A and B are shown apart, each in its own frame.
Chain A
Amino acid sequence: MKKIMSWLIILMTVGIALLAGTTQPAQAADDSLTRIKDKGTLVMGTSPDYPPYEFLVNRHGKDQVVGMDVDIAKKVAHDLGVKLVVKKMDFDSLLVALETNKVDMVLAGMSPTPARQKSIDFSKIYYRGGQSIVINKTDKGIYHNKNSFRNKAMGAQTGSIQYNLGKKQIAGSKMKGLAKISDLILALKSHKVEGVIMEEPSAQAYVDNDSNLAMLKNSQFNLGSGENNTAIGFRKGSPALVNAVNRSIDEITQKKLTQGYLKHAGTYMQTNTKNTGMWHYSSYFVKGVAYTLLITIISVFFGILLGVIFALMRLSKVKLLHALGVAYIEFVRGTPLMIQVMFVYFGIGLFVNIPALIAGIIAVSLNSAAYVAEIIRGGINSVAVGQKEAARSLGLSRQQTFKSVVFPQALKNIWPALGNEFISLIKESSIVSIIGVTDLIYQLKAVQTATYKGVMPIVVAMLIYFILTFSLSKLLNFYERKMKHDA
């Protein structure tokens, strides 16, 4: 255990040092292009909730990212002679994913602003769209352009150009940032915001598919050089790769290929919205439940295993073990699970390439271990001291006493609390959706994006979560009663 702890500490220190280091421009020779060719794959990072740029469709029971950006990426990969791999994640996480080598390029309707150009490289522009504002159709008479939104609440994707535009160019605007466009549309419909700023093609897609929405095409935003353009993002200091990709973009521009790509995307959107009943998307939810349960069950197993070890460390009379136990438990309980998930995926991922699912399971297990350790410690402390004394007075050793007398009784005391931890893990594991693990929450967002329906998928997911947790708590109660009966 000591070994693992010191490894963790080393990893953390090196991780922090390296994260700080990556902000410096790379001095090494530019091997960006040869690296791609050597490994034979080009990994594209995207946030597939932005039709027609990128969105999810269900084909042959599997969800697949499609859209204009995917078609462009396919062409780029084809021209480079490598295979395209698409990685899904939240828009906020894309730049970190580039910096930490999780992806080779980002296509997500991203505009090459000066601020972004400081941290990543961009290809040539592949698409010029305007910025539009989506509103509720019933408000069509009230709002005409951006200036109508003085002192009104408006929404845009967190970390996006649109967010900054609204903030800077609408007097007294109250900008609300959400990670997903589908959530923003929901906020719009429930009048949490009065308008949502988004790219014109994307706005068009939503308006085409939802008769309650309208768009203001001429939003009158004062757009700087990069702000209505879309380009591909690369890791800083990879001119070789950028140049190679630019040749593909030149061809796309010359042949006006984007028109075809947009049309292609449109056909997917129609099949997507043909049947927006929740039953039609049941496979999404089933997959989400499977992943949520997988993550929870594995994490409970390792959480309990590690939790016992950390609890024993904390209860240990050996000062070093005790200190390490306390340090781990307090540190993990003192930091949000979300940050731990990001740290494992992006931070430790710098050294070892951990797939998102494994990273999620590791983070959730390590997190749960700290809570389980405290539950177990409490359970052990709650066993009457006389039980221990009686065992020791019979000549049982410390270990024998713990194994035969203290632990079985502690287990009975901690069972209900352990059950609660299991149940809350089902819910809390949803945080792994931020790194693109297709758990129930992630699938919920996918269904929202695919169907242009906001509330129904939420209701379905909520019911599923309830059924999971409720049946689990009934099951645990059954065993709890059984244990009581025995004694």
Chain B
Amino acid sequence: MMPEMIKIENVTKKFGQTEVLKDLNGQVQKGQVICVIGPSGGGKSTFLRCLNLLEQPTSGKISFEGQELTSLSEAQINHLREKMGMVFQSFNLFSNMTVLDNVQLAPLKVKKLAAATAKKTAMQLLAQVGLADKAENYPSSLSGGQQQRVAIARALAMNPDVMLFDEPTSALDPEMVGEVLTVMQDLANQGMTMVVVTHEMGFAKSVANQVWFMDGGVFAEKGTPTQIFEHPQNERTKAFLAKILEA
């Protein structure tokens, strides 16, 4: 049996009195691609941000490679985040640095790699996402799709065990969605473990091993893409998919 990479047990999250996540459970196996879908405001992003503790769960347990996260010290959390790459909806490239510096910052500062090594890896990753020629540019001169590809390269530079994607294409113009999804698809083909919060149903259908449908702070339904998209059981899943397909 494949080892669990991430295990989520009874996780809840409250913002003040509002309960955003309610008693979540789930497992991510090594090499799996999980797509989390569902209506806006359903708690998908909060769930994803709990996985690398950008949000602290109110209760419950999250384990990563057998290690319980919620009880870790700050230094241990920093170390843990090295192994969990994250890509944000709004790219969040460091606006004060060039593309190359964005990618090699963490390897230099956190992994303390030699400058030459860090640069070599960074350039390879930029080539992988098709942006080697933009290495000396500042993020503001790049298109949204290019920025997001740099952000993916930046996360990969730490050689993570899992990649978390938080609606990576939602802020993009339609014509740029494809280039980002292609990069993500390549990653999946290389066997990268991925948790992807997305509205791209096509991507979920073709790439995901598992689709988790989330609404109202709970996983209303989990299953293979075929199960979820062809034979949804839950009423809310049905309603959501009907709405998406209409549009």
Cα distance, A392 to B164, chains bound together (Å): 14
Cα distance, A386 to B151, chains bound together (Å): 12
Expressed in whole angstroms, the minimum distance between the Cβ of B97 and any Cβ of chain A is 8
Q: Which of A392, A393, A409 has the most CB of B within 10 A?
A: A393
Note all chain B residues with C-beta closer than 8 A to A392: 54, 78, 81
Chain A: interface residue total (CB-CB under 8 A): 21
Note all chain A residues with C-beta closer than 8 A to B151: 390
CB of A22 within 8 Å of the partner chain: no
CB of B95 within 8 Å of the partner chain: yes
CB of A397 within 8 Å of the partner chain: yes
* Contact indicator A396/B95 (Cβ below 8 Å): no
* Contact indicator B94/A391 (Cβ below 8 Å): yes
Expressed in whole angstroms, the minimum distance between the Cβ of B129 and any Cβ of chain A is 16
Given A386-B88, A389-B88, A395-B79, A405 and B54 contact (CB-CB distance below 8 Å): no
Note all chain B residues with C-beta closer than 8 A to A408: 96
* Contact indicator A486/B138 (Cβ below 8 Å): yes
Expressed in whole angstroms, the minimum distance between the Cβ of A382 and any Cβ of chain B is 12
Cα distance, A386 to B94, chains bound together (Å): 9
CB of B243 within 8 Å of the partner chain: no
Expressed in whole angstroms, the minimum distance between the Cβ of A479 and any Cβ of chain B is 15
Q: Which of B16-24, B105-113, B190-198, B208-216 contacts A (4 or more CB under 8 A)?
A: B105-113
CB of A420 within 8 Å of the partner chain: no
| B67-86 vs A, Cβ < 8 Å mask (1 yes, 0 no) | 00000001100111110111
Note all chain A residues with C-beta closer than 8 A to B110: 394-396, 400
Given A400-B110, A409-B96, A487-B138, A394 and B88 contact (CB-CB distance below 8 Å): no
Cα distance, A487 to B54, chains bound together (Å): 27
Cα distance, A387 to B90, chains bound together (Å): 10
Note all chain A residues with C-beta closer than 8 A to B184: none
Which residue in A396, A412, A486 is a CB contact (below 8 Å) of B109?
A: A396
Note all chain B residues with C-beta closer than 8 A to A390: 86, 88, 92-94, 151, 154
Note all chain B residues with C-beta closer than 8 A to A398: 74
CB of B218 within 8 Å of the partner chain: no
Expressed in whole angstroms, the minimum distance between the Cβ of A455 and any Cβ of chain B is 50
Cα distance, A391 to B90, chains bound together (Å): 14
* Contact indicator B109/A400 (Cβ below 8 Å): yes
* Contact indicator B81/A404 (Cβ below 8 Å): no
Expressed in whole angstroms, the minimum distance between the Cβ of B77 and any Cβ of chain A is 9
CB-nearest residue of chain A to B102: A390
Expressed in whole angstroms, the minimum distance between the Cβ of A398 and any Cβ of chain B is 8
* Contact indicator B86/A404 (Cβ below 8 Å): no
Note all chain B residues with C-beta closer than 8 A to A395: 78-82, 106, 110, 158
Q: Quick one: which of B192-241 are within 8 Å of A by CB?
A: none
Q: Quick one: which of A363-420 are within 8 Å of B by CB?
A: 384, 386-387, 389-398, 400, 404-405, 408-409, 412
Expressed in whole angstroms, the minimum distance between the Cβ of A385 and any Cβ of chain B is 9
Expressed in whole angstroms, the minimum distance between the Cβ of B11 and any Cβ of chain A is 19
* Contact indicator A487/B95 (Cβ below 8 Å): yes
Which A residues are closer than 8 A to B by beta carbons?
A: 384, 386-387, 389-398, 400, 404-405, 408-409, 412, 486-487
Which B residues are closer than 8 A to A by beta carbons?
A: 52, 54, 74-75, 78-82, 84-86, 88, 90, 92-96, 105-106, 109-110, 138, 140, 151, 154-155, 158
Q: List 28 interface pairs A-B (beta carbons < 8 Å), by A numbering.
A: A386-B90, A387-B92, A387-B94, A387-B95, A389-B88, A390-B86, A390-B88, A391-B94, A391-B105, A391-B106, A392-B81, A393-B86, A394-B81, A394-B154, A394-B158, A395-B78, A395-B80, A395-B158, A397-B78, A404-B105, A405-B96, A408-B96, A409-B94, A412-B96, A486-B138, A487-B95, A487-B96, A487-B138
